[in-house]
């Protein structure tokens, strides 16, 4: 059910248009990279990885592998023509390890062979002479003066070389505010590594096209950025590289960094033949990044009415063995450290540090999830201390238009935030929470959140679209990766609406970097906003030009083309003091979770999740609901069961089950979406991005529900049965008489 | 070099008889994908955890990565390519129209895993039938809705 639906314009935008890629996916004809037919003469590639997260490489013995049947080449660092370095922000990752192993994702050699089996057999015969070193796995230890260095070659002035980035934001006098507060809540929160677990493991195929370009058939969130990194690492001219995207089997941030792209280009370039590689699930989990573990120390102060007066927050973020986007994740986390609330006095500080753990990278929410978990728990603890309704405390502190978030960013278009809280509560109350029976106790929890749309922080953020309008319809070229979120369909709707033609007459071509202009990554909840704006504007230009010519019927045979680049509104990097405008748009949301907890075992089941979301104007309501529901279950997994266990720097959870990915039986059986539509001033037709916020408030809503059910605070996620039991035991041992009474009453 | 002995296997795949020569260790999923080019059968984990490779063996949902091709000698296999002829099946249409798919990689397996459910299967039954099929995108809600509708539509069509 959607509110405000009557304000929708007629036409394509705002309708439940069926996905344009739906039939191909439902019939199995959609081609993912692993499904491509083998070209003639195709070679196969296998990786050689060290069994250790930290080692010196004394020698790589390739002779036995080369002698193996079917093996064509064994490639090592010496074969990489360029810098042999890549990375989304800092080029600190070797294509092939040269001299040292820093983490589980490192590849020491590649075996090229006539068959997949021969490549794997060959890989087994490569002899690695490694000198084992003790891996650095503790981020706290990494900051100590005598800690082993992960990247000793880094040149930095005055900073520990394991510290990738460090930030501090101060506003007002927190010490004074803390000393005068009616209540101060101090806690430490922890979160773990999480695996993206997109369904299609990495795969790809590289070959020279008819024009001599090295062409990569792959699935990636940002093809142009892959090619820019590959060009430098391999020493190939950028113009000689091309990506043709295949159907993308999920991403969630895990396909933003390079995985096997450069390997394939290198092998195809070296052998002059087509090369294919398909990773299995284990290699996928070893080969790409994870969600960042955070340790968050949090003090939140409030007056007797529950109005926040100060916060001191310090975070330690494990970047793992390579930089990836960890510094940006830290910025994003700190910038929203206080959630969607006004906190007058503030000290927010953080570090992200290198270790020999798996590198950590973009993952739906980009650092906001961890902070929202901590902040929302704190808000609930303040409410509990003051015996106030947690919803009332939230309402008293929500940002209003013109207020500032943690970094001093002024927010506008946030009128929807309190409405999401009211709507979620109202909808949630339609169900009566069951009374405790036998060993199960029931609880309902609530949490609110915000998430920025787009890169922000002064980073270049733009999207280019080209449209050709003919008598038959329109072809829009824009390289926005369809990762499953539905951007291809949404853009078709925006183009159809703007050109006033039927959506079926619009084709979106996003796959080929040689013909579709760059749209930037499918990440940061940005494609509907950014590519949507680019498509809207280029179609407006085209429509005006068509009208000038006297209508579509008067167009020449080839039609009429226009091109437009949409630049995001200007943003600025974080500054230590004073205000900064780090983002240009936000989405707002509140979730309510109903859980039941088995007191004897600590097991938690989620019975229902209600999410109310201020989505701006909705382009496709059903696809939006799909995002909300998918985000809810991903949030549920993060809250209760998902964790990629890492031992000595190596991930040991190497499958869906051991990573705790929720099944249809685990997932909340009842997920409801309430959509509020208040137009985003800058969005296309008033739309804003919502891909990430869908999971953020769900996590603290679940931990709040566990507290409501049991009286226990679980401050480390996932809230596994063991952690819930420990929290219950702590409650029994240390709690005040009233808390014990509460617990007794419940049982 | 070891000589890998090939074993001849006769199966009926999507209604057509076929003979394959495979090493004994080849899985059904690999044979379908590599030898018969039926790439609608997906391999997401290769160890029976994700269900993306679900096919029907004599009408029963079966994980293509956990059975060997040689075990299927004389049996009848249906893959996603064999579910519909020129028109979408009821389940397929429901997955498309109810947005029961996003990235789509789990979809063929989901459709086949659900295909044997009774027309009046409840949500609980549907979820139990999908317990071995992972979807990372949808949160399962729209998949369950699509299956509920698809089963109903299919049985209505049969009755007519």
**Interchain pair B136, A252: CB under 8 A:** yes
Q: Going along B14-83, which residue ranges are E strands?
A: 16-23, 54-57, 60-63, 76-78
Fold of A34-133+201-246+255-287: Aldehyde Oxidoreductase; domain 3 (3.90.1170)
The predicted pLDDT at position A1 comes to 39
Q: Going along A599-663, which residue ranges are E strands?
A: 603-614, 646-647, 650-651
A456 or A6, which is more confident: A456
**DSSP helix/strand/coil, A530:** helix
Using 50, 70 and 90 to split pLDDT, how confident is the model at A9? very low
**CB-CB contact of A463 with A630 (8 Å):** no
Give the gap in angstroms from C-alpha A417 to the nearest C-alpha of chain B: 24
Question: Which long-range contacts does A76-84 make (Cβ < 8 Å, 24+ apart)?
Answer: A76/A108, A76/A109, A79/A266, A79/A270, A80/A233, A80/A234, A80/A266, A81/A234, A81/A235, A81/A236, A82/A231, A82/A232, A82/A233, A82/A234, A82/A235, A82/A236, A83/A232, A83/A233, A83/A235, A84/A233
**Interchain pair A630, B108: CB under 8 A:** no
Query: CB-CB: which of A197, A201, A626 is closest to B99?
Result: A626
Same topology between domain A22-30+462-567 and domain A294-455+576-742? yes
What is the domain partition of chain A in residue ranges?
A: 22-30+462-567, 34-133+201-246+255-287, 294-455+576-742
Instruction: Say whether residue B27 is in contact with chain A using an 8 A CB cutoff.
Output: no
| Cα separation, A247 vs A88, whole angstroms | 23
Query: CB-CB: which of B41, B127, B136 is closest to A197?
Result: B136
Between CA A732 and CA A736, with CA A734 as vertex, the angle to 5 degrees is 90
Nearest CA in chain A to B134: A663
| Contacts A634 to B, Cβ<8 Å | 136, 139
DSSP notation for A95-129: SS--SEE-STT---EEEEESSHHHHHHHHHHPEEE
**DSSP helix/strand/coil, A207:** strand
What sign does the dihedral A521-A526-A531-A533 (CA atoms) show?
Answer: negative
This model of the complex carries an ipTM of: 0.97
pTM of model > 0.90: yes
Which of A334, A306, A309, A315 shows the shortest CA–CA distance to A174? Answer: A309
| Contacts B50 to A, Cβ<8 Å | 199, 281, 656
CA distance from start to end of chain B: 60
Both tokens of A703, joined, read: 């931990």
Between CA A309 and CA A318, with CA A312 as vertex, the angle to 5 degrees is 150
**CB-CB contact of A372 with A699 (8 Å):** yes
The predicted pLDDT at position A6 comes to 39
The model's pLDDT over A642-656, given as tens digits with 9 standing for 90+, comes to 999 999 999 999 999
In degrees and rounded to multiples of 5, residue A670 shows phi and psi of -130, 105
CATH class of A294-455+576-742: alpha beta
The predicted pLDDT at position A98 comes to 96
Nearest CA in chain A to B138: A630
Residue B1 CB burial class (10 angstroms; 0-12, 13-18, ≥19): exposed
| Cα separation, A349 vs A156, whole angstroms | 20
CATH number of A22-30+462-567: 3.30.365.10
Query: CB-CB: which of B50, B107, B141 is closest to A25?
Result: B107
Inform me whether the pLDDT recorded for A270 exceeds 90: yes
Let me know how many helices (H) and strands (E) chain B has, helices first. Answer: 5, 5
| Cα separation, A700 vs A294, whole angstroms | 15
Query: Can you give the pLDDT of all 160 residues of chain B as single tens digits?
Result: 455 689 999 999 999 999 999 999 999 999 999 999 999 999 999 999 999 999 999 999 999 999 999 999 999 999 999 998 889 999 999 999 999 999 999 999 999 999 999 999 999 999 999 999 999 999 999 999 999 999 999 888 777 6
Q: How many CB atoms lie within 10 A of CB A550?
A: 9
**Interchain pair A26, B95: CB under 8 A:** yes
Residues sharing a CB contact under 8 Å with residue B65, sequence separation 6 or more, in sequence order: B27, B28, B29, B43, B45, B46, B47, B48, B53
A291 or A6, which is more confident: A291
Residues sharing a CB contact under 8 Å with residue A545, sequence separation 6 or more, in sequence order: A560, A562
Query: CB-CB: which of A18, A281, A633 is closest to B46?
Result: A281
Instruction: Say whether residue B18 is in contact with chain A using an 8 A CB cutoff.
Output: no
**Interchain pair B138, A630: CB under 8 A:** yes
**DSSP helix/strand/coil, B27:** strand
**Interchain pair B127, A664: CB under 8 A:** yes
Give the gap in angstroms from C-alpha B7 to the nearest C-alpha of chain A: 18
| Contacts B38 to A, Cβ<8 Å | 28
**Share above pLDDT 90 across residues of chain A, in percent, rounded to a whole number:** 92
């Amino acid at each position: 059910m959607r509110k405000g639906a009557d304000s929708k314009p007629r036409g394509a935008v705002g309708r439940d248009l069926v996905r344009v890629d739906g039939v191909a996916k439902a019939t199995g004809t959609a081609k993912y990279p692993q499904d491509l037919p083998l070209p003639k003469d195709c070679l196969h590639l296998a990786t050689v990885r060290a069994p250790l997260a930290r080692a010196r490489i004394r020698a790589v013995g390739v002779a036995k592998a080369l002698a193996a049947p079917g093996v064509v080449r064994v490639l090592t660092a010496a074969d990489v023509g360029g810098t042999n370095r890549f990375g989304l922000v800092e080029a600190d990752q070797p294509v092939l390890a040269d001299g040292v192993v820093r983490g589980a994702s490192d590849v020491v050699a590649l075996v090229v062979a006539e068959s997949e089996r021969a490549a794997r057999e060959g890989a087994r015969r490569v002899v690695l002479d490694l000198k084992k070193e003790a891996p650095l796995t503790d981020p706290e230890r990494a900051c100590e003066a005598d800690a082993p260095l992960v990247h000793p070659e880094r040149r930095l002035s005055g900073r520990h070389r394991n510290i990738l980035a460090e930030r501090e934001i101060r506003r007002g006098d927190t010490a004074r505010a803390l000393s005068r507060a009616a209540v101060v809540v101090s806690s430490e929160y922890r979160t773990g590594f999480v695996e993206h677990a997109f369904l299609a493991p990495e795969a790809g195929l590289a070959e020279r096209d008819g024009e001599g370009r090295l062409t990569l058939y792959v699935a990636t969130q940002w093809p142009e950025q892959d090619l820019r990194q590959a060009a430098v690492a391999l020493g190939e001219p950028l113009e000689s590289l091309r990506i043709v995207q295949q159907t993308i089997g999920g991403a969630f941030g895990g396909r933003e960094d390079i995985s096997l792209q450069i390997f394939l280009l290198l092998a195809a370039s070296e052998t002059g033949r087509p090369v294919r590689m398909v990773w299995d699930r284990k290699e996928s989990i070893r080969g790409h990044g994870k969600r960042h573990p955070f340790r968050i120390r949090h003090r939140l102060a409030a007056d007797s009415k529950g109005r926040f007066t100060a916060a001191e927050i310090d975070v330690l973020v494990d970047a793992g063995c390579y930089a990836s986007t960890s510094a940006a994740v830290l910025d994003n986390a700190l910038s929203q450290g206080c959630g969607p609330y006004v906190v007058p006095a503030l000290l927010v500080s953080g570090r992200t540090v290198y270790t020999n753990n798996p590198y950590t990278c973009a993952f739906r929410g980009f650092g906001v999830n961890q902070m929202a978990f901590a902040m929302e728990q704190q808000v609930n603890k303040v409410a509990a201390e003051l015996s106030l309704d947690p919803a009332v405390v939230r309402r008293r502190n929500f940002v209003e238009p013109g207020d500032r978030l943690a970094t001093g960013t002024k927010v506008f278009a946030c009128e929807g935030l309190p409405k999401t809280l009211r709507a979620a509560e109202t909808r949630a109350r339609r169900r009566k929470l069951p009374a405790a029976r036998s060993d199960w106790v029931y609880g309902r929890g609530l949490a609110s959140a915000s998430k920025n749309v787009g890169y922000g922080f002064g980073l270049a953020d733009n999207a280019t679209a080209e449209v050709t309008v003919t008598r038959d319809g329109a072809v829009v070229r824009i390289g926005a990766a369809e990762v499953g979120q539905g951007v291809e369909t949404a853009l078709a709707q925006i183009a159809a609406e703007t050109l006033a033609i039927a959506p079926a007459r619009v084709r979106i071509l996003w796959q080929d970097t040689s013909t579709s202009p760059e749209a930037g990554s499918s990440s940061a909840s940005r494609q509907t906003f950014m590519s949507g704006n680019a498509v809207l504007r280029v179609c407006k230009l085209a429509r005006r030009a068509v009208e000038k010519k006297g209508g579509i019927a008067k167009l020449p045979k080839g039609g009429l083309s226009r091109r437009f680049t949409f630049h995001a509104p200007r943003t600025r990097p974080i500054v230590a003091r004073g205000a900064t405008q780090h983002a240009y748009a936000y989405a707002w949301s509140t979730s309510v979770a109903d859980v039941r907890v088995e007191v004897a075992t600590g097991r938690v089941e989620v019975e229902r999740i209600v999410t109310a979301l201020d989505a701006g104007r909705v382009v496709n309501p059903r696809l939006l609901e799909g995002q909300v529901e998918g985000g809810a279950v991903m949030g549920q997994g993060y809250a209760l069961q998902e964790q990629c266990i890492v031992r000595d720097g190596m991930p040991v959870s190497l499958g869906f089950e051991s990573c705790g990915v929720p099944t249809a039986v685990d997932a909340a059986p009842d997920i409801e979406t309430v959509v509020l539509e208040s137009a985003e001033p800058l969005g296309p037709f008033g739309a804003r991005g919502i891909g990430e916020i869908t999971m953020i408030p769900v996590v603290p809503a679940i931990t709040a529900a566990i507290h409501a059910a049991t009286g226990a605070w679980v401050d480390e996620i996932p809230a596994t049965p063991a952690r819930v039991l420990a929290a219950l035991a702590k409650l029994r041992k240390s709690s005040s008489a009233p808390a014990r009474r509460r617990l007794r009453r419940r049982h | 070099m070891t000589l890998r002995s090939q074993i001849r296997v006769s199966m009926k795949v999507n209604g057509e008889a076929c003979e394959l020569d495979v090493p004994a260790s080849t899985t059904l999923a690999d044979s379908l994908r590599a030898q018969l080019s039926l790439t609608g059968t997906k391999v997401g984990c290769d160890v029976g955890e994700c269900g993306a490779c679900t096919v029907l063996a004599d009408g029963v949902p079966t994980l293509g990565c956990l059975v060997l091709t040689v075990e299927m000698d004389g049996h009848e296999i249906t893959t996603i390519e064999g579910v519909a002829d020129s028109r979408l099946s009821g389940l397929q249409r429901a997955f498309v129209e109810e947005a029961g798919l996003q990235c789509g990689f789990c979809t063929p397996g989901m459709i086949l895993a659900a295909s044997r459910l009774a027309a009046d299967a409840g949500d609980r039954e549907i979820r139990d039938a999908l317990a071995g099929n992972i979807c990372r995108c949808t949160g399962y809600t729209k998949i369950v809705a699509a299956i509920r509708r698809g089963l109903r539509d299919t049985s209505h069509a049969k009755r007519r």
